Amino acid sequence: MYQSKWRTITNHLILIIGSLFMILPVWIALVSSTHTREYLFQHGLQFWFGGHFIENYGAILFDSAATKGRVTALEMLFNSMVLGLGFAIGKVIISMMAAYAIVYFRFRLAVPLFWVIFATLLLPLEVRIVPSYEVVTNLGLLNTYTGLILPLIASATGTFFFRQFYRSVPDELLEAARLDGAGPLRFFIDILVPLSVTMIAAIFIIMFVVGWNQYLWPLLMTTDDQLYTIVIGIKQVYNSLYEGGQIPQFPKAFALTIMATIPPVLVVVIFQRMFVKGLVETEK
Amino acid sequence: MATVTLNRAEKTYANGFKALHGIDLEIGDGEFTVLVGPSGCGKSTLLRMIAGLEGISSGEIKIDDRVVNNVAPADRDIAMVFQNYALYPHMTNYANMAYGLKNRGYSKVEIDTRVRDAAKILQLDDYLERKPQQLSGGQRQRVAMGRAIVREPKVFLFDEPLSNLDAKLRVDMRLEIKNLQQRLGITSVYVTHDQVEAMTLADRLIVMNAGIAEQIGTPIEIYEKPASLFVASFIGSPSMNFLDGKVADDKSYVVLGDGSKIDLDHVIDAGRDLVVGVRPEHFTLKADGSGALKARVRMIESLGAETLIYLEFGKKNENVTLRMQGTHQFDKGQELSLATSANLVHLFDKDSGKRL
Amino acid sequence: MKRVQFGHSPVPYFFIAPQILIIAIFFLWPAAQAVYQSFLLEDAFGLSSQFVWFRNFEDVLASGAWLQSAIFTAVFSFLVAFISIAISLFLAVRADEVIRGAKSYKTLLMWGYAVAPPVAGLLGNMLFNPLMGDLYKLFNSFGFEFNHIQNAGDAAFVVTLIAVWKQVSVNFIFFLSGLQGIPKSVTEAATLDCKSAERRFWTITFPLLAPTTFFLMVINLTYAFFETFGIIDVSTKGSPGGSTATLVYKVYVDGFLGADMGGSSAQSVLLMIMVSVLTVFQFRFIERKVHY
């Protein structure tokens, strides 16, 4: 469509500046993580690579002393992966099932249970962290993967997402299935689930990122270093940055942030279309 | 005074697709010109280029002797009616019509006068304060036309405005548009794929195919003397009959597939392969069997005022359509004898499709 | 609801059970606990507790700290929402118009969603670090005497900037989607009716994006309320003097670090009420206005 030359030029300029605004902080972190801390201390944050990439990353990945704890970044990455995947898988399965029950069945508790689920939207975890912590402790789930993942699943977002999707599936499909002799289980497994594949993928991606990036909850209930996720590792490094009167461990801190950021960013960028679709549908 | 001229206008898209191959066109002041052709022929592209919504790759577009290649659409003094109305959903119909004038700095009084005058012509007086969603398709299209009329532009552009309306409404609106244009006398360019619309609305018709203007002329000219196979097949419904033939050695007639002979009334090389075109209404039924063609009845459509008979002809079972006034009955498989006269026959070169 | 449904089957109970179970254990129970504890006053050792009705609430509401935090949260939220929406709308409109490189720009602008709040907090903190932060040096070179460690306003600025940065991506995605929902022919008609691109934006595009904008306002406010915990904890930690502590952060500080169960529970309950209002508002208002 028509566009004056001037408009096109300003458009590109603005978009470039916007992109730089988003990218620069991470770029600086990435680049600075490849220098020694002395260099950073003397010359400030850098804009181009130094030569210590392998040294710095190797140190935090494999040597736990570098992160001031008993755990390496590699182990933390593993924990993050468990959290991300576990959360996403758990969320998808549970929400799909709950949404199926709500949409496709007439049963006595349907309406009150629906509102119970809805109520979880009203109170995000941040508002009930202290008692949640107590509950988890009482159940003996402190410092376990289960305790880390389960409480996070107790929210309605996934359920509403699938509910909306199921409502858009034509009624005729169910009617035809019934004529073909399919009961509720068959219908779900043979017809509904295959239909939902793209939706499942979309929400899986979002939930993976959400799970990976969890901060408050893991912070509270993992006191055992072995269970630290990489996002928590950042907090630990941050706390100990200025310890001991030495030059702060900036490069290692940056390296950790880069490693914490790369996986979710990669997922979002590679699966961009699905991610956007899931995001736009979830929030409605 | 508003003429539109195109000199060797071409359009190539970024992906390399060439939509228009050098179009030359002169539209006179007050003329209603229709661009007609199948999907993808480039007619909409051409219209949008005149509007400025698409850039021109090479060549020139002039509105009133002013080259507008690089002029912004809003500055070309044109108004456009879109296929799906393109009304602003958040504004009232009044505001929709007034918007263009408001942006150009017309006074409130002037705007009000123009909008109300247009509303009167289009019978929209009662709908001005409503929003587009509250109107029917036909009413919305009238609002869209009102938006164009109040601008009093040099040129009106119509992009298949009736395609989204149901059949009966289309016929009514067609007449309205024709009347309107004659009354206002504004130069108009109209795009459609419907050849009936094209024939009834156009002062001049441009038949387009694959980015080329195959023929430019009045509707009757094009109907009676189509310049190519494509034009001949596109204009006229039911479509013209096409039969393969070869010029006889003595050049006085053409031999068809089964040996039938059609007389020629002008000179063509002997032995030449060509396509013979005859319109369904230009065949006459010879009850005495003396017609040049013999064909077998396949199917009959009785429309009341006329009857369409679909026949098969020759060894290759070429399709022939016969159009007769009134109602007639024939048996399936019955053989009919058809005649035509040389001056009603169209001849086309077999390879190029050009008229001979 | 669907026209066609299964009736008389045990299946739904089994299917909905896992979610309900998890909600019961990890949501209803803690929520009830929070409410219950907000009415209790524990002694210093946590050994005994006393039912004190609304005293905790009175104490909290009367305390200057809570009020300060509430004001900060309110101002912070609105600023973050407003600025982030403005920036992303601006970018989305341009991104929708460019042809060459459109895909690249979109990718470059939408990945921010994947960044964890504490990561954003750390990055911001580094950039403003007195020892080597570029932004710190930049601001001071303009003669601002920037000091976010001691100056409350500067600290608030830093936290707001980080929160805005993180939120631009999400808003960008939604605005882009909204823009693509406007029929192309309407935009073209506007091009014919109005020469100025600015004017076209304010009279046609922006009104048609109103539903998206409303929706994002609510999303952003919710984000600023809750999801900024990570940002604050890894940058200013609420300093100086609690001036950059949002209400959520304060609950954490008082309850976890300060072991004031009664007080933090009361704060939690107050937050619950606020969020409920916001969510109900979102559902009512947005559902109504979403489509023409």
A2 at B interface, C-beta within 8 A: yes
pLDDT in tens, B174-186: 999 999 999 999 9
Residues from chain B that touch A4, judged by Cβ atoms under 8 A, are 72
B339 at A interface, C-beta within 8 A: no
Cα dihedral angle (C106, C111, C113, C115), rounded to 10 degrees? Answer: -160
pLDDT at C83: 96
Q: Name which of A68-72, A188-192, B68-72, C32-36 the model is least confident about.
A: A68-72
Mutual angle of helices C64-97 and C210-222, in 10-degree steps: 140
Position C292 confidence tier, pLDDT thresholds 50, 70, 90: very low
Within-domain flag for C156: yes
- Can you tell me whether residue B54 is helix, strand or coil? coil
pLDDT at C1: 55
**Which amino acid type is present at position C269?**
V
Maximum average pLDDT range among B278-287, C86-95, C126-135? C86-95
pLDDT at A108 over 70: yes
pLDDT at B212: 94
pLDDT at C2: 65
Within-domain flag for C51: no
pLDDT at B240 over 90: yes
pLDDT at A66: 57
A137 at C interface, C-beta within 8 A: no
* CATH code for the domain of C109: 1.10.3720.10
Among residues B170, B116, B160, B179, the alpha carbon closest in space to that of B138 is found at: B170
- Cα(C229)–Cα(A31) distance, rounded to whole angstroms? 27
Residues in chain C: 292
Position B110 confidence tier, pLDDT thresholds 50, 70, 90: very high
Per-residue DSSP letter, B296? E
The answer to whether the Cβ–Cβ distance between A130 and C4 falls below 8 Å is no
The answer to whether the Cβ–Cβ distance between C183 and B84 falls below 8 Å is yes
Total domains in the fold of chain C: 1
Per-residue DSSP letter, C205? I
Residues 9-38 of A with CB under 8 A from C: 10-12, 14-15, 18-19, 21-23, 25-26, 28-29, 32
Q: Name which of A8-12, B258-262, C285-289 the model is least confident about.
A: C285-289
The answer to whether the Cβ–Cβ distance between C19 and A95 falls below 8 Å is yes
User: Which carries the bigger pLDDT value, residue A282 or residue C134?
Assistant: C134
pLDDT in tens, A119-134: 887 778 887 887 888 8
pLDDT at B298: 93
pLDDT at B117 over 50: yes
pLDDT at B10: 95
pLDDT at C290 over 50: no
Average pLDDT over residues A192-205: 91
Within-domain flag for C36: no
- Can you tell me whether residue C280 is helix, strand or coil? helix
Within-domain flag for C210: yes
Phi, psi of B177 (to 5 degrees): -60, -45
Average pLDDT over residues B142-158: 95
pLDDT at B136 over 80: yes
C33 at A interface, C-beta within 8 A: yes
pLDDT at C178 over 80: yes
pLDDT in tens, C219-255: 898 888 888 988 988 888 877 777 888 888 888 888 8
Question: Which ipTM value was assigned to this complex?
Answer: 0.86
Average pLDDT over residues C62-83: 89
User: Which carries the bigger pLDDT value, residue B14 or residue C131?
Assistant: B14
What is the three-state SS of chain A?
Answer: CCCCHHHHHHHHHHHHHHHHHHHHHHHHHHHHCCCCHHHHHHHCCCCCCCCCHHHHHHHHHHCHHHHCCCCCHHHHHHHHHHHHHHHHHHHHHHHHHHHHHHHHEECCCHHHHHHHHHHCCCCCHHHHHHHHHHHHHHCCCCCCHHHHHHHHHCCCHHHHHHHHHHHHCCHHHHHHHHHCCCCHHHHHHHHHHHHCHHHHHHHHHHHHHHHHCCCHHHHHHCCCHHHCCHHHHHHHHHHCCCHHHCCCCHHHHHHHHHHHHHHHHHHHHHCHHHHHHHHHHHCC
Average pLDDT over residues B285-290: 86
Position C43 confidence tier, pLDDT thresholds 50, 70, 90: low
pLDDT at A284 over 70: no
Within-domain flag for C22: no
Q: How far are the Cα atoms of B32, B158, B181, B283, C163 from residue B187, in angstroms, in the given order?
A: 6, 11, 8, 39, 57
pLDDT at B171 over 70: yes
pLDDT at A60: 76
C2 at A interface, C-beta within 8 A: yes
pLDDT at A14: 94
pLDDT at C288 over 60: no
Within-domain flag for C68: yes
Within-domain flag for C33: no
pLDDT at B1: 65
Q: Is A178 exposed, middle or buried (0-12, 13-18, 19+ CB in 10 A)?
A: middle
pTM, to two decimals: 0.86
pLDDT at C291: 41
- Per the structure, the complete domain to which residue C234 belongs is given by 61-287
- Cα(B327)–Cα(B260) distance, rounded to whole angstroms? 28
Residues from chain C that touch B111, judged by Cβ atoms under 8 A, are none
Q: How far are the Cα atoms of A110, A119, C273, C286, C287 from residue C280, in angstroms, in the given order?
A: 21, 10, 11, 10, 11
DSSP B209-245: ETTEEEEEE-HHHHHHS-SBHHHHHHSSSSPPEEEEE
Within-domain flag for C106: yes
Q: Where are the alpha helices (DSSP H) in B104-136?
A: 108-121
- Cα(B201)–Cα(B51) distance, rounded to whole angstroms? 20
What is the three-state SS of C71-82?
Answer: HHHHHHHHHHHH
